[in-house]
Amino acid sequence: MNSTPTTRRLVLTRSAAVIGAASTGLLLPELAKAQSGKLRVGLMLPYTGTFAQLGVAIENGVRLAINEQGGKLGGREIEYFKVDDESEPAKGIENANKLVQRDKVDVLIGTVHSGVQMGIHKVARDSGVLSLIPNAGVHMATRAQCAPNVFRTSFSNSQPTRALGAAMVAKGHKRAVWITWKYAAGDEAFEGFKEGYLAAGGTIIKELGLPFPNVEFQALLTEIAALKPDAVACFFAGGASAKFMIDYAAAGLKDKIPLYGSGFLTEGMLDAAGPAAEGVMTTLHYGDSIETPRNKAFRLAYAKTFKMQPDVYAVQGYDTGLLLVHGANAVKGDLNNKAVLYKAMETVTIDSPRGKWTMSKSHNPIQDIYLRVVQNKENKVIGVAAKALADSGAGCKMG
Ligand code: PHB
């Protein structure tokens, strides 16, 4: 039977709408759901292994920020989806796809480990999902492989160590040994350390390394003792960093050869490390003792909510939550409105417990780096090692 003109018009109008929706990858009921249903937030973080505590701190920070802003994103309720990435690079892509393909998250927050981030980054670039990096500093994510849908709220791996060398030379420590885990985070932290230390007049007499997440430090500590440098600089993080400081002291090195580090060394592990951490000097974009009302209010709220003290990872999670709230509000919860969403996130100033920071063109924080010393189980800020430091963003072409 022939359609009446009215029905035909209806069919045509509907098909046009369906074609329009199909070009965005969504059919009509899904389109409606995407804009009015719960916003799906994926958390891909380490909940087991040497970085487990870091994953928990980041999740706590994200939730605190969102809850403080009313618990919604652009007016929409939230549903969280979680995957434990185990800091296992080999499973990075598969785990990211659990959130993107299976759970259909609107935003993927993760992760800590630079090697795992490479897997997330591939999935983010292929799918176009909004990807917020709350820790992993791997350079390529905001350098040669930067992408419009990828934003980092933490640091690039060479940022915290760039100002460390000058602080060491200022103390008269001109011959140093560098030690780290041999993977992207350690190698790129070395890039920053090397540039800063050489420019300040220091000499690196040896680079030492062991595979992630090994903690068999003994042979390397024996080698350090034999080399007799003026100082040691390192990158370690998570549970292993407490063990490194304890082993360093137990080997009799603590009072002879001052230990310096990228500030992650002393984050979240001061109880575990005890006296072995006292006096260790580091550089980082946060310090417990930052004397601002913003930091004090954050620390109080975090301690009250989670019955533990916050650290840099909690701050990075918190700032990730703040960025997401800001972006989602700008598009009233419609994260498919990408041009407006990205613009809002690119031009934001985050009023962070670490101090205010802005987003670089390659989507990495431009931020102050503090010089800190461990005193009475606190990362005490004793100076600003670098003001408004930006990563080079080398090779980044958006679009
Ligand atoms: C990293 O793998 O990028 C990483 C991990 C832990 C840190 C910092 C960087 O504390």
Q: From the CA of 85, how far away is ligand 1's center (Å)?
A: 14
Three-state secondary-structure class, residue 21: helix
Residue 383 lies in a domain: no
Tokens 């958006």 correspond to 398
Please say whether the beta carbons of 80 and 105 come within 8 A.
no
Evaluate: CB of 181 within 6 angstroms of ligand 1: no
205 and 247 housed in the same domain: yes
Considering its fold, how many domains does the chain have in total? Answer: 2
199 and 181 housed in the same domain: yes
Residue 51 lies in a domain: yes
| β-strands 231-235, 259-262 pairing | parallel
- Please give the C-alpha separations between residue 294 and each of 254, 379, 394, in angstroms, as whole numbers: 35, 17, 33
Q: From the CA of 335, how far away is ligand 1's center (Å)?
A: 28
Q: Which of 135, 180, 316 to mutate to test the pocket of ligand 1 (most atoms within 8 A of CB)?
A: 135
Q: From the CA of 112, how far away is ligand 1's center (Å)?
A: 6
- Strands of the chain (E only): list them: 39-45, 78-84, 107-109, 130-133, 150-152, 175-181, 203-210, 231-235, 259-262, 281-284, 349-352, 355-359, 365-375, 378-389
Query: How much is the pLDDT for 399?
Result: 72
Largest pairwise CA distance in the chain? 95
Residue 3 lies in a domain: no
Query: How much is the pLDDT for 20?
Result: 40
Tell the residue nearest (CA) to atom 5 of ligand 1.
113
180 and 276 housed in the same domain: yes
* Token pair belonging to 193: 């350390």
Query: How much is the pLDDT for 355?
Result: 98
66 and 107 housed in the same domain: yes
Residue 66's closest CA among 56, 79, 53?
79
Evaluate: CB of 114 within 6 angstroms of ligand 1: yes
Evaluate: CB of 136 within 6 angstroms of ligand 1: yes
- Please give the C-alpha separations between residue 186 and each of 98, 113, 138, 259, in angstroms, as whole numbers: 28, 11, 10, 16
Please say whether the beta carbons of 359 and 365 come within 8 A.
yes
Residue 101 lies in a domain: yes
Residue 123 lies in a domain: yes
Domain housing 125: 36-155+290-363
Taking the C-alpha atoms of residue 213 and residue 237, their distance in angstroms, rounded to an integer, is 10
Residue 304 lies in a domain: yes
DSSP 4: P
Three-state secondary-structure class, residue 27: coil
Q: Which of 85, 111, 113, 153 to mutate to test the pocket of ligand 1 (most atoms within 8 A of CB)?
A: 113
Q: From the CA of 81, how far away is ligand 1's center (Å)?
A: 22
Evaluate: CB of 264 within 6 angstroms of ligand 1: yes
| β-strands 349-352, 355-359 pairing | antiparallel
221 and 278 housed in the same domain: yes
Evaluate: CB of 237 within 6 angstroms of ligand 1: yes
Evaluate: CB of 152 within 6 angstroms of ligand 1: no
Angle at 52 between CA 47 and CA 56, to 5 degrees: 75
Residue 385 lies in a domain: no
Whole-model pTM: value is 0.92
76 and 166 housed in the same domain: no
Pick from 284, 302, 324: which residue ends a domain? 284
Please say whether the beta carbons of 68 and 353 come within 8 A.
no
- Residue 171 is part of a domain; what is its CATH number? 3.40.50.2300
168 and 68 housed in the same domain: no
315 and 249 housed in the same domain: no
187 and 231 housed in the same domain: yes
Three-state secondary-structure class, residue 353: coil
Query: How much is the pLDDT for 270?
Result: 96
101 and 119 housed in the same domain: yes
Please say whether the beta carbons of 298 and 318 come within 8 A.
yes
Q: From the CA of 252, how far away is ligand 1's center (Å)?
A: 28
200 and 277 housed in the same domain: yes
User: Which alpha helices (DSSP H) does 203-306 contain, by range?
Assistant: 218-227, 239-250, 270-273, 293-306
Tell the residue nearest (CA) to atom 9 of ligand 1.
136
Q: From the CA of 135, how far away is ligand 1's center (Å)?
A: 6
Helices (runs of H) and strands (runs of E) counted in the chain: 13, 14
Q: What residues contact 11, with CB distance under 8 A and at least 6 apart?
A: 3
Q: From the CA of 36, how far away is ligand 1's center (Å)?
A: 36
Taking the C-alpha atoms of residue 322 and residue 329, their distance in angstroms, rounded to an integer, is 11
List the chain pLDDT tens, one digit each, 399 residues.
333 333 333 333 333 333 344 444 445 555 544 556 999 999 999 999 999 999 999 999 999 999 999 999 999 999 999 999 999 999 999 999 999 999 999 999 999 999 999 999 999 999 999 999 999 999 999 999 999 999 999 999 999 999 999 999 999 999 999 999 999 999 999 999 999 999 999 999 999 999 999 999 999 999 999 999 999 999 999 999 999 999 999 999 999 999 999 999 999 999 999 999 999 999 999 999 999 999 999 999 999 999 999 999 999 999 999 999 999 999 999 999 999 999 999 999 999 999 999 999 999 999 999 999 999 999 999 999 999 999 999 999 997
Taking the C-alpha atoms of residue 229 and residue 94, their distance in angstroms, rounded to an integer, is 44
Query: How much is the pLDDT for 332?
Result: 97
- Ligand 1 atom at shortest distance from the alpha carbon of 137: 3
Q: From the CA of 136, how far away is ligand 1's center (Å)?
A: 5
Evaluate: CB of 189 within 6 angstroms of ligand 1: no
141 and 207 housed in the same domain: no
Q: Which of 87, 112, 282, 312 to mutate to test the pocket of ligand 1 (most atoms within 8 A of CB)?
A: 112
Taking the alpha carbons of 91, 95, 96, 101 in that order, is the dihedral positive or negative?
A: positive
Evaluate: CB of 113 within 6 angstroms of ligand 1: yes
Residue 78 lies in a domain: yes
Tell the residue nearest (CA) to atom 7 of ligand 1.
237
Evaluate: CB of 357 within 6 angstroms of ligand 1: no
